[in-house]
Amino acid sequence: MSSPDRLRALLAEPGLVVMPAVWDGLSAKLAAGAGFQTAFLSGSCVAASRLGGPDLDLISFGEMFDSFNMVHAAAPQTLVLADGDHGHGNAMNVQRTVRAYGRAGAAAVLIEDKVTPRALTAAGKPCLPREEARMKIRAAVEAAKESGILILARTDCRPTQGIDEAIARIEMYVEEGADILFLDSPADDDEIRRAVDAAAGRPSFAVLSPGAPRATPSQTEAAALGFKIGTYPTGMLSPAVAGIKAGLAALTAGGAEAASALPSAELRATLGYDDYDATAKPFIVADQG
- Mean pLDDT, the chain, whole residue set: 96
pLDDT tens string 225-249: 999 999 999 999 999 999 999 999 9
Asked if pLDDT for residue 180 goes beyond 70, the answer is yes
Looking at the fold, whether 170 and 262 belong to one and the same domain comes out as no
CB 107 within 8 A of CB 76: no
In a domain, 289, yes or no: no
251 lies in some domain: yes
Statement: residue 254 has pLDDT above 70: yes
> What is the largest distance, in Å, between two alpha-carbon atoms of the chain?
79
Question: How far is 282 from 278, CA to CA, in rounded Å?
Answer: 8
Q: Kindly state whether residues 52 and 116 are assigned to the same domain.
A: yes
Helix axes 130-144, 163-176, angle to 10 degrees: 30
What would the mean pLDDT of 142-166 be, rounded to a whole number? 97
Is the pLDDT score of 289 beyond 70? no
Helix or strand (DSSP H, E) at 278: helix 273-280
Does 246 lie in the same domain as 145? Answer: no
CB 36 within 8 A of CB 18: yes
203 contacts 178 by C-beta, under 8 angstroms: no
Q: Is the per-residue pLDDT at 32 higher than 90?
A: yes
196 touches 221 (CB < 8 A): no
Q: What are the φ/ψ torsions at residue 39 (nearest 5 degrees)?
A: -155, 150
Q: What is the pLDDT of residue 118?
A: 78
262 lies in a domain? yes
CATH of the domain at 45: 3.20.20.60
Give the pLDDT confidence of 85-134 residue by residue, as tens digits.
999 999 999 999 999 999 999 999 999 999 987 777 767 789 999 999 99
152 and 226 inside one domain: yes
Looking at the DSSP bridge assignments, the partners of residue 20 are 232
Helices (H), 116-162: 130-144, 158-161
Q: pLDDT at position 50, please?
A: 98
**Residue 58 to residue 41: CA distance in whole angstroms:** 16
Q: What is the mean pLDDT of residues 60-65?
A: 98
Q: Cβ(199)–Cβ(229) under 8 Å?
A: no
pTM of the complete model: 0.95
Closest to 36 in 3D by CA, of 55, 52, 16, 51: 16
Q: Which candidate, 201, 114, 203, 232, places its Cα nearest to that of 166?
A: 114
DSSP string across 188-232: SHHHHHHHHHHTTTS-BEEE--SSSSS----HHHHHHHT-SEEEE
Q: Is residue 287 part of a domain?
A: no
**How many domains is the chain built from?**
2
Segment 147-162 shows an average pLDDT of 97
**Mean pLDDT of all residues in 212-222:** 91
On the question of pLDDT at 285 being above 70, the answer is yes
Q: How far apart are CA 261 and CA 149, in angstroms?
A: 39
What H or E segment, with its residue span, contains residue 112? strand 108-112
Residue 122 belongs to some domain of the structure: yes
Do 25 and 60 have their domain in common? yes
141 and 270 assigned to the same domain:
no
Share of the chain above pLDDT 70, in %: 98
- The pLDDT of residue 237 is 98
Alpha-carbon gap, residue 66 to 141, rounded angstroms: 23
pLDDT at res. 120: 76
Range of the domain at 89: 3-233
Query: What order do you get walking across the sheet with 205-207 strand by strand?
Result: 180-183, 150-155, 108-112, 79-83, 38-41, 17-22, 229-232, 205-207
Would you say residue 288 has pLDDT above 80? no
